[in-house]
Structure formats: C-alpha cells, structure tokens
C-alpha cells in the first residue's frame, strides 16, 4: 500500500519539473524533506531553473539576515534596563524549574554550555556555592570521545579535569550532541533545593495573583 496517494506523488513530480524548490514542495504538500526528496531526486532541472532557485535562496538568506538584525535590536531594547542584581532570582528559578530535578536531590542537567555557565555563575556568586560542593558528571555515548568531552565541560564549568567524571553508555546516554550531557549535582543540596521550590512558588504566586 502506498503511504501517499498517487495524486500527491504525481503533483510533487509535476511541480518539481516546473522548478519548484524542495522547501516549497514540503510546505505545499505538508511532507517531510526526506519524503519529498525520495520522490523527486531523479528529476533533473534545467540550468535556468537551478539559477532561479539559487537566486531565490540568496534573497531568502538576505531576508533572514535582516530579520536577525531587527531581532537583535529588539532584544537590546527590551533589555536596556536589565539589572542582574534584580533578575538573578527569577532566572535561577526558571532555569531550575525547566532543567532541574524536583525531588531526590539538587541536580541540573543540560547540553548547552551557555546555560550551564549562567547557572553556575548564579550558584557561585549569589548562593556562595563552592566548587568543592559540586559533582560534575558528563554522560556520553558513541561516537563521542569521553576524554574530549571531559575537557570541554571542564573548561565550560571551570572545574578541574580530574574532578569531572564521565559515564559512557550507548543505551542510556544515546545523543546526537558533540560533547554529551553535563549533569551538575550539589552535594548536600537539600537546603538549596528547598530554596528553588520556594523561589518558583513565590514567583508564580506573584505573577498569577
């Protein structure tokens, strides 16, 4: 049985022969890139059609750049009165609310270096957490190089390489990331975990009152 109606497949091929781009075909027929490409990959476009698509791609890239520039200006305007001294509790609560464990211990896990760095900055500077209280574990899988991953997260966290542990497991840690997942556990973090819960409760209470 065909996965897609023959009329859809015929339409894909007809449109492709007329020079319609892969992206436009995906949008028109609500199909994935892989599916579209599977059915039209053998259709050869003329040089004029290729040049037309290439010029459209260039125009699209320029439009995208303009949108990025406008977005940066908007972001800077929104953050013009940003004050870290006032916003750090909200940021800490939001980070932990989304990426931290809610019970059983204070554990924060993520693959984004910047998120990890911001989180640790707040812990160190605002809650006076010492590096000796942190347990850094990097979860990796094939084809990641465990030592390279340890070095990467050692630099990102500012924790000496010898103190960065690694857990290499192709079943439990399977991921497409380059350097694996960094897990930060706060030793004897029960009191700090309670602070996280209270921050979240207070913030949501004020916003939803």
Cα separation, 138 vs 158, in Å, equals: 14
Q: Write out pLDDT tens, residues 104-122.
A: 899 999 999 999 999 999 9
Work out the mean pLDDT of the chain and round it to a whole number. 93
Same domain, 123 and 174: yes
Same domain, 169 and 92: yes
pLDDT of residue 193: 96
User: Alpha carbon of 122 to those of 81, 88, 146, 196: distances in Å?
Assistant: 19, 7, 27, 12
Same domain, 64 and 89: no
Q: Write out pLDDT tens, residues 72-104.
A: 999 999 999 999 999 999 999 999 999 999 988
Provide the domain count of the chain: 2
Average pLDDT over residues 174-178: 91
Same domain, 107 and 53: no
* Residue percentage of the chain with pLDDT more than 70: 99
* Residue percentage of the chain with pLDDT more than 90: 71
- 78, 109, 139: which is the final residue of a domain? 78
Same domain, 137 and 194: yes
- 21, 54, 78: which is the final residue of a domain? 78
**What is the domain range of residue 170?**
84-208
Average pLDDT over residues 161-190: 95
Query: Which of 143, 151, 186 lies closest to 168, judged by CA?
Result: 143
pLDDT band at 1 (very low <50, low <70, confident <90, very high): very low
Question: DSSP letter at 44?
Answer: P
pLDDT of residue 53: 86
Average pLDDT over residues 19-36: 89
Same domain, 19 and 49: yes
Its pTM stands at 0.74
pLDDT of residue 63: 83
Average pLDDT over residues 191-200: 96
Q: For residue 130, is pLDDT > 70? A: yes
């Amino acid at each position: 049985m065909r996965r897609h109606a023959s009329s859809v497949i015929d339409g894909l091929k007809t449109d492709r022969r007329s020079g319609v781009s892969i992206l436009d075909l995906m949008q028109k027929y609500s199909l994935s890139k892989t599916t579209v490409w599977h059915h039209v990959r053998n259709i050869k476009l003329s040089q004029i059609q290729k040049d037309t698509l290439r010029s459209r791609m260039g125009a699209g890239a320029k439009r995208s750049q303009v949108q990025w520039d406008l977005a940066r200006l908007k972001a800077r305007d929104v953050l013009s009165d940003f004050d870290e001294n006032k916003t750090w509790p909200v940021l800490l609560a939001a980070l932990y609310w989304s990426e931290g464990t809610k019970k059983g211990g204070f554990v924060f896990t993520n693959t984004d270096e910047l998120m990890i760095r911001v989180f640790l900055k707040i812990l160190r500077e605002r809650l006076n957490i010492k590096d000796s209280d942190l347990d850094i574990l990097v979860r990796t899988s094939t084809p990641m190089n465990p030592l390279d991953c340890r070095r990467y997260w050692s630099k990102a966290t500012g924790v000496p390489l010898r103190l960065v542990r690694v857990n290499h497991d192709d079943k439990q840690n399977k991921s497409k990331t380059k350097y694996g997942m960094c897990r930060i556990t706060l030793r004897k973090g029960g009191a700090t975990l309670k602070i996280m819960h209270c921050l979240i409760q207070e913030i949501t209470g004020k916003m939803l009152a």
